A and B are shown apart, each in its own frame.
Chain A
């Protein structure tokens, strides 16, 4: 199927955002369609996380229009965006430290009815069997890798239509990184869930992604399909 035939998930039109009057995202436009796993790449401080926060409504736009599915507007709140079916796995994971693992998961499905939430709970734990042993423990005492899995699992609880992930491999040991890549691919295959993935770890990014976008100084510098990055793009925008 060509890109035009697949359902539109997200469209950003000349989206801009600023921190304290200095532009950090400059007129970025792109589309995300059903089936896409988009890697958002670039060096440190080019605005990847900010762009993800713009998509989630956490950072307010000062220009441009966002469209989620059929809703097209210049301003959305995080609550509205999450209700539209966008789930967010933030940098630093942001687990509720005082809640148990079970409560963290159930909170992810807080808008589902009791029966749905129960079914979904079991479905999600299928993907993250490691969490099952830790259900009664407080979220705050888990290791970094376990918290990352919990954050992804919590996001999946709501039966989202789009998943945003901000550096899921940051500070996590390599064998867990590989495991997370496998889980995300399985989720994409079985739940047909479109994703946007902010990553520094190129190897991980292309184990998961089937499209990429490279940011440079808050603007779109390169983009393309495929599970590999042209060497020229790597040299120009990603080599440190």
Chain B
């Protein structure tokens, strides 16, 4: 039983990592807490529900979910977030408003019922008495791939270099001929697109509902807090730690109790390592 819980924990970690990646990009580099982050995951989920219903293959749905969530994120940044840079409280309120609007809009368009799509690949890998659905393996693979792509974008491209420069010193970066406002918009769109991918991957494993965003938003931020604000490695480790903890402990006691213990531990962690387990030391 322990082994199958560890394995279940891994696919949950994949989902969590995908959900948190976008939050790491936006929060880590721009310092923005976007309370609509979970709703962008929802946008991705419904995009996949919609195009999957049109008969498009899962791979295409994932890409379309990225694009749709990125465009929605871009609009949110240009219309709302841009006006509140440097004002944490106002950003929180404004993005919460956006979250409500997106959730209710989804309810109007798709109805309140839960929706899902069949997994892209059916069947399970059976090892002894442990069943691992192939789709769960795919989730972990996609999560690792997206983490790698994000890392490559941040550390191997000019856009990534500019994003990292802004996170170190916004004003100096602007004085060096970088249009920081444009980069902010792109960063936000990119983080939103990653949330969309998370949504696409979640639907076949779980369900899409109009108000699914809130719980995923919470989980992504817990992951970011545990892992570290500016570290992709930290996000991965945070996702793995949290998922394995709830999955394994949840097998022995109830999952609810496991979550309560987890949240208590996170509070203790914030007290002693406010920037997360894997945050870079700042000089």
A154 to B164, CA, bound (A): 17
Contact with A along B173-184 (1 / 0, CB 8 A): 011111111000
Contact with A along B39-58 (1 / 0, CB 8 A): 00000000000000000000
Quick check: A77 and B174 within 8 Å, CB to CB?
A: yes
Choose among A98, A103, A110 the residue that contacts B177 (Cβ–Cβ < 8 A).
A110
Query: What chain B residues lie within 8 Å of A158 (beta carbons)?
Result: 176-177
B168 at the interface (CB under 8 A from A): yes
Query: What chain B residues lie within 8 Å of A107 (beta carbons)?
Result: 161, 165, 176
B172 at the interface (CB under 8 A from A): yes
A94 to B280, CA, bound (A): 19
Instruction: For the complex formed, measure the closest distance between the CB of A128 and the CB atoms of chain B, giving whole angstroms.
Output: 17
Query: What chain B residues lie within 8 Å of A81 (beta carbons)?
Result: 175
Query: What chain A residues lie within 8 Å of B175 (beta carbons)?
Result: 56, 58, 78, 81-82, 87-88, 90
Quick check: A110 and B178 within 8 Å, CB to CB?
A: yes
Quick check: A82 and B174 within 8 Å, CB to CB?
A: yes
A90 to B169, CA, bound (A): 12
A-B contact count (CB 8 A): 54
Say what secondary structure dominates the interface of chain B: helix
B158 at the interface (CB under 8 A from A): yes
Quick check: B179 and A103 within 8 Å, CB to CB?
A: no
Known: A58-B171, A96-B169, A140-B283. Contact between A110 and B176, CB under 8 A?
yes
A78 to B171, CA, bound (A): 8
| Size bin of chain B's contact surface | 10 to 19
Instruction: For the complex formed, measure the closest distance between the CB of B257 and the CB atoms of chain A, giving whole angstroms.
Output: 41
A193 to B180, CA, bound (A): 27
Choose among B162, B176, B178, B180 the residue that contacts A154 (Cβ–Cβ < 8 A).
B176
Quick check: B171 and A82 within 8 Å, CB to CB?
A: no
Quick check: A108 and B168 within 8 Å, CB to CB?
A: no
- Most-contacted residue by chain A among B161, B180, B181, B280 (CB, 10 A): B161
Quick check: B165 and A99 within 8 Å, CB to CB?
A: yes
Instruction: For the complex formed, measure the closest distance between the CB of B234 and the CB atoms of chain A, giving whole angstroms.
Output: 15
A97 at the interface (CB under 8 A from B): yes
A210 to B174, CA, bound (A): 30
Instruction: For the complex formed, measure the closest distance between the CB of A66 and the CB atoms of chain B, giving whole angstroms.
Output: 16
Query: What chain A residues lie within 8 Å of B172 (beta carbons)?
Result: 90, 94, 96
A98 to B282, CA, bound (A): 9
A3 to B165, CA, bound (A): 40
Q: Which 6 A-B pairs have the closest CB atoms?
A: A94-B172, A78-B174, A82-B177, A88-B175, A78-B175, A111-B177
4 additional A-B residue pairs with CB within 8 Å, beyond A107-B161, A154-B176? A58-B171, A58-B175, A77-B174, A98-B164
B binding-site residues for A, Cβ under 8 Å: 158, 161-162, 164-165, 168-169, 171-172, 174-181, 280, 283
A binding-site residues for B, Cβ under 8 Å: 56, 58, 77-79, 81-83, 87-88, 90, 94, 96-99, 103, 107-108, 110-111, 140, 154, 158
